[in-house]
Structure 1
Amino acid sequence: MLKIGLQLYTLREELEQDFEGTLRKVAELGYAGVEFFHFFGRTADEVKELLRETGLVALGAHRPYDAMLNDTEQEISYNLAIGNRNVIIPFLTEEQRNWEEVAANLRIIGEKCKAQGAVLSYHNHDFEFTEHYGERTAFDGIFEEVPADLLQVELDTCWVHFAGYDPVEYINKYAGRLPIIHLKDLKKREDGSPETVVLGEGEINLAAILEAAAAAGVEWAVVEQDYCSRSPLESVSDSMKWVKTYANQGGKVNV
């Protein structure tokens, strides 16, 4: 059964104003875990205590590529101290996208993570599918070049769809190397740009993604909404309502 987490970037403004109170609200909504992107100046002990109090699991953390390259030991030790093993590189700027260099650096970072008992993953957007690494998409290229024991996949299924590929096919392709997926919905604006929306309000076949993820042995489905047209807390609450409805209809999610 898939566990349901929340990528806290969705609540970035709320966290900046009230880090502790916002995490308590996330737990009240029924999310089992959280994926961090920033710690807002809190010590590892403070974060660990808040997780203990709320019962939330630190399922992962998005950490900047530069930080993972230059402050690797510090990043790993902080995350292990809060009880998180999954350190995830979430985004590359255009200047950083020398894919051969990226693959070499991911291997180095992955080896350091593995040596300390952490797991390195890479999270995609759409550009990994529109840019190339040799004859391959950049996405397939980096995961072919870096072995699975040094780099896991965090598949953002929404961006796979937006790039014109089938998320279910990619879940199946990377089964066994895919501990976490991002579950998000979108609709296209008139100009073709993506608008992220509450689960069930867009064009993504979420049920098919969750079924494939459960079959592929994925542990966590992480809800994320990059930008919200209504209150972010209301949005993540409504997305959880969709998940609970799906679960009540026999979906393989644990809520």
Structure 2
Amino acid sequence: MNKQAMLCAVLGTLLGASQAMAAEPRLGVQLWSVKDEIKQDFEGTLTRISRLGFQGVEFAGEFGPYKDNPAALRAFLDKNRLQCAGAHVHFDQLTDARFEATTAFYKTLGCSNLVIPMDARGASVDGSAAMSRELSALSSKLAPKGMRIGYHNHAQEMAGAVGSTPWDVIARSTPKESILQQDVGWTTFAGKDPVAYVYKYPGRTVSTHYKAKFAPGAAVAGSTPIIGQDKTDWAGLTRALRQAGGTEWIIVEQEEYPNGMGQLDTVAASLAGLKAVLATMPAQ
């Protein structure tokens, strides 16, 4: 860890003391990881996800036969001992005209974390500043409903020098209640340190995407984009989440499926790799 990251770690530990003793983060999966399989067999795929040992799912717009019946979907989740870890929604779903319908749907699911998955404005500092005003307004509007807004990064939000990236602008320009959902795969793809960013903005990493992803030409021989079969410091990251992240959910996301593996089989491999890492760490 470089000097700047070390300073962020010290500062984050001090400022994040109130989050340090939070409950152990639960394990969820972003359903985009199984986007094809879930369309073919929604209930069967979620049932298998539960049997793998996941505690929750993060939705990405696919609800199978329940798209107009959130109460029945909630019952199905409860039957399979799954919680709604959050949902990816776009800004257009939270316009004044659609706000009540959208929030009512997710409230019925027991979902309190709504996350914007991507926006073109996140590619620039000025655009991120404008977008942050919209995120801040939504944060205030969602608070009375017991819900939070968040934003999820790709590589574009991590471009530039640390401290002046679009991600830094979003972090500084939105209220502390809003979620900085860091996608670790995209952070490392952009050449940034995901651990340092957790400490830099303590208490904001309410949920985070655990994704193994390689920057072009950066793959190490024998590594694959599966958690535990790559070079990401998952133990260090998990330690940071426990100490300063205020993290409720670690969410596995899979975008690449090596060696012809199926989508859910690859997710299962990443979960196994993550559990192996967690098994080496002392309980909080």
User: What residue number does 2:102 align with?
Assistant: 75
How many Å separate the matches in 2 of 1:189 and 1:101? 31
| Cα displacement (A) at 1:212 | 1.2
User: What residue number does 1:235 align with?
Assistant: 266
Alignment of 1:203 onto 2:226: no
CA RMSD of aligned residues (A): 2.4
Letter of the 2:128 partner, please give it.
Answer: W
Indicate conservation of the 8 Å contact 2:151/2:179, yes or no.
Answer: yes
User: What residue number does 1:158 align with?
Assistant: 185
Count of residue pairs the alignment pairs up:
248
Alignment of 1:120 onto 2:149: yes
Which whole-Å deviations, capped at 9, do the CAs of 1:118-156 have from their partners, x for residues lacking one?
Answer: 111111111012169xx821111122112113x221111
How many Å separate the matches in 2 of 1:202 and 1:187? 9
User: What residue number does 2:21 align with?
Assistant: none
SS of the aligned residue for 1:140 comes to helix
SS of the aligned residue for 1:187 comes to coil
User: What residue number does 1:32 align with?
Assistant: 55
Counterparts of residues 190-229 of structure 1 (less than 5 Å) = 190=217, 197-216=225-244, 217-229=246-258
Which whole-Å deviations, capped at 9, do the CAs of 1:187-237 have from their partners, x for residues lacking one?
Answer: 344499xx9821112231112111111112312111001232321111111
Q: Where does structure 1 lack aligned partners over 5 or more consecutive residues?
A: none
Higher RCO (C-alpha under 8 Å, 6+ residues apart): 2
How many Å separate the matches in 2 of 1:6 and 1:60? 10
SS of the aligned residue for 1:147 comes to coil
How many Å separate the matches in 1 of 2:142 and 2:131? 16
How many Å separate the matches in 1 of 2:210 and 2:123? 26
SS of the aligned residue for 1:76 comes to helix
How many Å separate the matches in 1 of 2:164 and 2:281? 38
Counterparts of residues 12-51 of structure 1 (less than 5 Å) = 12-38=35-61, 39-40=63-64, 42=66, 43-51=69-77
Alignment of 1:145 onto 2:173: yes
TM-score (norm 1): 0.89
Indicate conservation of the 8 Å contact 2:27/2:56, yes or no.
Answer: yes
| Cα displacement (A) at 1:244 | 2.3
User: What residue number does 1:246 align with?
Assistant: 277
More displaced 10-residue stretch of structure 1: 171-180 or 123-132: 123-132
| Cα displacement (A) at 1:41 | 5.5
| Cα displacement (A) at 1:95 | 9.3
Q: Percent identity?
A: 29
Q: 1:94 to 1:226 in 2, by over 3 A?
A: farther
User: What residue number does 1:88 align with?
Assistant: 115
User: What residue number does 1:56 align with?
Assistant: 82
More displaced 10-residue stretch of structure 1: 35-44 or 164-173: 35-44
| Cα displacement (A) at 1:59 | 0.9
SS of the aligned residue for 2:213 comes to strand
Q: Where does structure 2 lack aligned partners over 5 or more consecutive residues?
A: 1-23
Letter of the 1:29 partner, please give it.
Answer: L
Q: 1:102 to 1:131 in 2, by over 3 A?
A: farther
How many Å separate the matches in 1 of 2:212 and 2:75? 32
More displaced 10-residue stretch of structure 1: 243-252 or 218-227: 243-252
More helix by share: 2
Indicate conservation of the 8 Å contact 2:171/2:201, yes or no.
Answer: no
SS of the aligned residue for 1:136 comes to coil
TM-score (norm 2): 0.80
| Cα displacement (A) at 1:30 | 0.5
Indicate conservation of the 8 Å contact 1:69/1:105, yes or no.
Answer: no
